[in-house]
Amino acid sequence: MLLRYELKKLLNKRLNRILLAAALLLAVVFSCFAVRSFIFLDSNGDGHSGFFAARSIVADKNQWKGELTPEKFSESIRQSHHDWQSTSDITYLASAMLVGEFHDYDDQDYSYHAKPEQVASIYDAYLNNLRKICSEYGKSSEKKKFLERKYGKIHTPFNYEAFDSWETMFLYVTTYGIVLVLIIGFLTAGIFSEEFQYRTDSVFFSTRYGRGKAIHTKIQAGLITATLVYAVDISVLSAICFGIMGISGASASYLLSKPYTLYHVSFGQMYAIVVFGGYVASLLSASVSMLISSKTKTMSVAVCIPFVLFCVSPFIGRVMPFHTFFTLTPDQLTNIMNCAKIPDIYQIGSFVFRQIPFLIIFYGLISILMLPLVYQTYYKVNM
């Protein structure tokens, strides 16, 4: 009963309803942008955009679907001179495998001019580049062994399937996730500040459950709000986009896009990781907002904190010299794709760990552990 009352109060606020409607509308707008970002080139070289362009591109690229043997790499590179569209993924991958992910090259340009013997031994060159990364990033024996173990699990040759819809959605779900994190911070901040805003705190704290069950209910309302808003809006965005663009490449290895990543998962799994990282960021935003608003008795400060954590922090990290510290700040939860590009690993004693699992586990625990502090802070108000 109390929970329903808290959720009803939240929905009864006109500004909150506007924000919820805006979030849903943005899901539709972002979906339109994502779907219309594709341009399909027909046999005459004419470009076509629209709702079916993505599926046309995928169908064109999937003529190369299957095992990427050195022979198929060679054939794709030869055909790329007069058919860039269908071969672009494979020639880009060939360039990265031949010269290394962290060298400067102009997309497919290197593979265009690669010698036949280089392409014939493309997987040998790739494995050699993996060994170089182990030496470059393995600053200690434990780190080097960790990298060797992770890269040793890569199976070659790769199996190709067009993954354009997933690559596009990585960008849009990340951007949209940041918007939701800020909206959720605003919505949950009001749950704990409204009693002071409307000067009903004396009544609230004098009720039978004012300092007990009712505070628990407010916390539950905050968590439910964060979960439902994020889940519903991300689901709407995903359903529209994948319903139109298709899900080709869902089970294909993410190594096709980032051959030197430490995260050897499929595109579908990587999308789930990105979405879950955004959800943890939403929980953190809700917990921080509830804590600050219960402490300050106002929304004004509380709604600023998520903005600082997830929008301002990245810019600070770019100009500050503490690189390692800023690779582990909360904003990285909404920047999973950038984290996946570089094999950042960390060491505590003899324990070595990767960036993304640490971010999700650490800030997930912080979000949970902050809730008792929210309760205690609000409980002691006006005592």
In a shared domain, residues 227 and 287:
yes
140, 160, 180 - which closes a domain:
160
Taking CA atoms, 249 is separated from 75, 94, 354, in Å, by 21, 18, 25
Residue 192 burial class via C-beta count within 10 angstroms: exposed 0-12, middle 13-18, buried 19 and up: buried
Range(s) of the domain holding residue 152: 66-160
Cβ distance 132 to 101 under 8 Å?
no
Q: Decide: 135 and 148 in contact? Cβ < 8 Å.
A: no
DSSP 266: B
Q: Report DSSP state, residue 328.
A: S
Kindly list the averaged pLDDT for each block of 10 residues, start to end, along the chain of length 383. 78 91 96 93 79 92 96 92 89 89 57 78 94 91 95 94 97 96 92 63 51 80 94 97 96 96 96 98 95 83 88 79 84 94 91 96 96 83 54
Query: φ, ψ for residue 49 (rounded to 5)?
Result: -110, 175
Q: What is the pLDDT of residues 94-131, one digit of tens each?
A: 989 998 876 555 554 666 667 788 889 999 999 999 99
Give the helix ranges, DSSP H, for the chain: 2-12, 14-35, 53-61, 70-79, 84-99, 109-112, 116-120, 122-137, 141-151, 164-197, 201-206, 213-245, 267-296, 299-302, 304-307, 313-319, 323-326, 336-341, 355-379
- Residue ending a domain, choose from 142, 160, 178: 160
In a domain, 40, yes or no: no
Q: Would the pTM of this model clear 0.85, i.e. be above it?
A: yes
- The reply to whether omega before 70 is within 30° of 0 (cis) is no
The total of structural domains in the chain comes to: 2
